[in-house]
Structure 1
Amino acid sequence: MIDLDGVLGGVADTHEIKLLLRLICQVGHQEDQFALRQGCAYVPRLVKQTLEQPLVPLDLRGDRTYLITGGLGSLGLYLSDWLVRQGAQHLVLMGRRTPSAEDKVAIAQMEAQGVQVLVCETDVTQLEQVADVLRKIDTSMPPLRGIIHAAGISGFQSIEQIHWKDFEAVLSPKVTGTWILHHLTQNYPLDFFVTCSSIASVWGSKGQSHYAAANQFLDGLAHYRHGQGQPTLSVNWGPWDQGGMIQEQEKHMLGHLGVKLLQPAEGGYALNCLLSPQRMAQSCQATIANIDWSIFKPLYEVGKRRQLLALLEASSLAVQSPTYADLGTESALITSLQAVPVEERDDHLQEYLQKTVAEVLGLSTAGFSTTQALGREQGFFEMGMDSLMAMDLKERLEQDLQTKLPTTLAFEAPNLTSLAQYIAQEVLNWLPPKPEELQEPASFQEKVFSSDALELQQRIEQMTEGNLEDLINRELQALTGEVL
């Protein structure tokens, strides 16, 4: 993704176009996105910061009102209680449903502390309903001085399966609702306007393109408001250990990815630090998550290196011990392969790989015959493999072969045939490289268009993202050489 400064068009933008093409050729294979601003290129990086209690904390006054959307959700109720502990005495909890028995208990606990709690059954995506809530505050409560927008719904659907109604259901509370709150409170002297975004809009989340897009809007609006001098903070939260959107199955999956649940006390402490006037004047976006980078980063970069996390390596990444036996002992697999006749080794290796890949994909326990279920030319990711499975496959092969393998193995050798060839050549030294594999094609056209359309499509589908980018970048360099 490239973010351009202003609207391109006309002779005056020739320099910008040349700069853009030069950047694509020079760093396009390294960066997923960059922004052009007044002749300079900017790239995103996640930078670790230590949060300390501010010298001048946010002043939550007892004679002011604070509004929480999604106020009856688990996160909304926790944040309401956090506001009370910081000194708030007047709260408005906005939600689309009536309070449950559990909600009423939480509200009663706040009221027992002398807190005024107004519960409004309101859809944040409906302008008139939100305007009516603001009128109630204006006429019957102390002045509104803070908003926490915690309303939202999640969902998991692959992008080709999302229907518009599902897309709209996820986007509306985040996009329409946030814009309505922003629009209606332009003339309110707010101390803070907090939006609860997600890590999904920072580095993505499989099956959640609609959710990532919705939260990206929150991040973008925060930067817009910050540029207007309005006190704003978008927090890209990791998953909370507080019920809500995350289910038990998701917790288990996230744990394998190195994503740990954020404890409520940790989230409250972080918010207290981030909402200091000094910090809000400097920054309007922060990611708060409990991540084991030594697990997450290799998985995130299993297909290609992602520069977003580049600055976390030195300070945040611990050396992770393998979960399998220490390498260096004799490989029983290699010993068994060496014991069979030379002409049978390929078949034995293929049989082993079919069994191992089937186990990784979960096919071995589903009643499938691995020889029937796995085609030798069928792509692993076409069969349902994801980055976590790719790392599992790599570690299983490392354990059985007793040798280190590249993190991108399943992407560089994405089917049984290519994987067997890689192991035979690079690990077992059985086969010398074919002469044609050592020759670099003279041009992009020679490499890509030397086969018929069906073969071309198959070759492109099996290429890794990194290889495909390199191929495109070389062609761009050739096409734009005269312009640059």
Structure 2
Amino acid sequence: TGRRAPSEKVQEIIDRLEQAGAQVKVLLGDISLEQDVAEIIEQIQTFLPKLKGIIHAAGVLDDATLPQMSWERFTKVMAPKVTGTWYLHQFTQNLPLDFFVCFSSMASLVGSPGQGNYAAANAFMDALAHHRRSRGLSGLSINWAPWASGGMAASLTAQHQNRIHTSGINDIAPKQGMSALEKLLENQTLTRQIGVISVQWSLLSQQWSNLNKSSLLKELLQQDKLQQQDILEQKLEREILEKLEKASAGERQEILREHIRGQVAKVLGLSSSQLPEVNLGFMEMGMDSLTTVELKNRLQAQLGITLPGTVAMEYPTTEKLSRYIFEEVMGWKSVADSESNLPETEEVDVDEQILPVIEDISEEEFEALAAQQLERIKSML
């Protein structure tokens, strides 16, 4: 079932199934409308063999951070996953289904920046699976990571997809996903809810710092940290800190500025040949509230510092941000400041003012004269 007729690609799959001997019936309807669900179930009961199972995979996205999240955005995303799931449950709860599977998301387990509405909608699916099982009905909610092709993840912008991948979340290949689904259907009585996720937890916890507070993931994060130790990231962190500690003041400024420049490029998904100008504004580059938070988290982890949440807004270019971190956070003095604090020098005509002809004075007189001139030099400093 679906709201639209099958696409050309989907129709090809249907044709192959029918050629293999399967009977495929496409029913159109909006799962979030009670009347549509009622009619779909009635048609199945009337014209098709007994309904033996449901896989609910419908969903929509409308991402926004909290200040821009409206109730309309919530209702749009919740319609298929909350309202639609409930109607499916209501109209089939008296049927002896072999399976009732909800395609949920890892967002309801670990959260997802800019997807509060989506995480909440999937959490309802999870809860309903538990509810059905508590009543002796079939029910399984699968918290999927993004699928590599097709599905809602494929409709995300390149910037959003890059944010997911650089956070350590790996896509699920369709073949892997279908294999996992097959195994879960064979053993669905063993669990009510399960995550199918491929992720580098240590890397994800750096980008999404709230994960470290999750009691659900605490043990998992600790195990992953012990197993992997986040080798690559920690190596990079050590290298940048060692470089900064060993460098001169002038070199430090340049090293820090270039490091921040590289991190800005990473959160924007740019290659090393596309490093942004140091005086170009972050927002002009295409950064948003999510990527500025990611930049802050990266710099905190790599430099061992703490930055305010609004740091990228207050210091909105690579140059300004690097100077702020260099001077205000690290407490280092810039080359310009160091040079401005040097005492002014005074030229002294040594031959005429302080040294008579050496051979005309005694050793005692020379020592006294040297002490006198030393005191004079000290008074100039």
Alignment-derived partner of residue 270 in structure 1: 180
1:335 Cα shift?
A: 4.8
Q: State the SS of the aligned residue for 1:234.
A: strand
Q: State the SS of the aligned residue for 2:54.
A: strand
Alignment-derived partner of residue 392 in structure 1: 298
Judged with a 3 Å threshold, the aligned counterparts in structure 2 of structure 1 residues 161 and 314 are, in CA distance, closer, same or farther, namely closer
Q: Residues of 1 paired with 2:57 and 2:228: CA distance?
A: 33
1:143 Cα shift?
A: 0.6
Write out aligned runs for 1:397-436 (5 A).
Answer: 397=303, 405=304, 409-410=306-307, 420-424=327-331
Q: Residues of 2 paired with 1:200 and 1:412: CA distance?
A: 23
Alignment-derived partner of residue 378 in structure 2: none
Alignment-derived partner of residue 216 in structure 1: 123
> How high is the TM-score relative to the length of structure 1?
0.55
Q: Which has the higher helix share?
A: 2
Q: State the SS of the aligned residue for 2:95.
A: coil
Deviation string for 1:245-277 (max 9, x for gaps)?
22472433222111001122222222223223x
Q: 1:234 aligns with which of 111, 133, 141?
A: 141
The 8 Å contact of residues 296 and 307 in structure 2, kept in 1 or not, is answered as yes
1:390 Cα shift?
A: 3.1
Write out aligned runs for 1:60-99 (5 A).
Answer: 94-99=1-6
The 8 Å contact of residues 413 and 419 in structure 1, kept in 2 or not, is answered as no
Alignment-derived partner of residue 206 in structure 2: 298
Q: Residues of 2 paired with 1:101 and 1:382: CA distance?
A: 38
Q: Residues of 2 paired with 1:256 and 1:329: CA distance?
A: 19
Q: Residues of 1 paired with 2:153 and 2:302: CA distance?
A: 30
Q: Which has the higher strand share?
A: 1
The 8 Å contact of residues 353 and 420 in structure 1, kept in 2 or not, is answered as no
Write out aligned runs for 1:4-403 (5 A).
Answer: 94-247=1-154, 249=158, 250-276=160-186, 279-301=187-209, 305-313=213-221, 315-316=223-224, 317-323=227-233, 327=238, 331=242, 333-337=244-248, 357=260, 360-361=263-264, 369=279, 385-387=292-294, 389-394=295-300, 397=303
Alignment-derived partner of residue 376 in structure 2: none
Deviation string for 1:86-139 (max 9, x for gaps)?
xxxxxxxx0001122222111101111111100011111111221111111112
Q: Residues of 1 paired with 2:9 and 2:82: CA distance?
A: 29
1:423 Cα shift?
A: 2.6
Q: Residues of 2 paired with 1:367 and 1:272: CA distance?
A: 50
Q: Residues of 2 paired with 1:191 and 1:330: CA distance?
A: 58
Judged with a 3 Å threshold, the aligned counterparts in structure 2 of structure 1 residues 329 and 127 are, in CA distance, closer, same or farther, namely closer
Alignment-derived partner of residue 337 in structure 2: none
1:219 Cα shift?
A: 0.8
Q: Residues of 1 paired with 2:32 and 2:197: CA distance?
A: 28
Q: Residues of 1 paired with 2:178 and 2:290: CA distance?
A: 42
Q: Residues of 2 paired with 1:301 and 1:96: CA distance?
A: 38
Judged with a 3 Å threshold, the aligned counterparts in structure 2 of structure 1 residues 260 and 285 are, in CA distance, closer, same or farther, namely same
1:322 Cα shift?
A: 2.9
Q: Residues of 1 paired with 2:24 and 2:221: CA distance?
A: 46
Q: Structure 2: 5+ residue runs without aligned partners?
A: 269-273, 315-320, 333-381
Bigger Cα displacement from structure 2, 281-290 vs 328-337: 328-337
Judged with a 3 Å threshold, the aligned counterparts in structure 2 of structure 1 residues 262 and 383 are, in CA distance, closer, same or farther, namely closer
Which amino acid counterpart does residue 279 of structure 2 have in structure 1? S
Q: Structure 1: 5+ residue runs without aligned partners?
A: 1-93, 341-347, 375-380, 398-404, 426-484
Q: Who wins on radius of gyration, i.e. which is larger? A: 2
Q: State the SS of the aligned residue for 1:242.
A: coil
Q: Relative CO higher for 1 or 2, CA cutoff 8 Å, sep ≥ 6?
A: 1
RMSD: 3.6
The 8 Å contact of residues 56 and 101 in structure 2, kept in 1 or not, is answered as yes
Judged with a 3 Å threshold, the aligned counterparts in structure 2 of structure 1 residues 130 and 332 are, in CA distance, closer, same or farther, namely closer
The 8 Å contact of residues 114 and 290 in structure 2, kept in 1 or not, is answered as no
Which amino acid counterpart does residue 309 of structure 1 have in structure 2? L
1:222 Cα shift?
A: 1.1
> How high is the TM-score relative to the length of structure 2?
0.69
Which amino acid counterpart does residue 179 of structure 2 have in structure 1? Y
Q: State the SS of the aligned residue for 1:307.
A: coil
Which amino acid counterpart does residue 211 of structure 1 have in structure 2? Y
1:338 Cα shift?
A: 5.1
Judged with a 3 Å threshold, the aligned counterparts in structure 2 of structure 1 residues 117 and 365 are, in CA distance, closer, same or farther, namely same
Q: Residues of 1 paired with 2:206 and 2:41: CA distance?
A: 47
Which amino acid counterpart does residue 300 of structure 1 have in structure 2? W
The 8 Å contact of residues 257 and 299 in structure 1, kept in 2 or not, is answered as yes
The 8 Å contact of residues 148 and 171 in structure 2, kept in 1 or not, is answered as yes
Q: State the SS of the aligned residue for 1:133.
A: helix
The 8 Å contact of residues 104 and 126 in structure 2, kept in 1 or not, is answered as yes
Which amino acid counterpart does residue 203 of structure 2 have in structure 1? I
Bigger Cα displacement from structure 2, 198-207 vs 267-276: 267-276
Task: Tell me the matched-pair count.
Answer: 306
1:214 Cα shift?
A: 0.8
1:297 Cα shift?
A: 2.9
Give the percent of matched residue pairs that are identical in Structure 1 and Structure 2: 31
Which amino acid counterpart does residue 214 of structure 1 have in structure 2? A
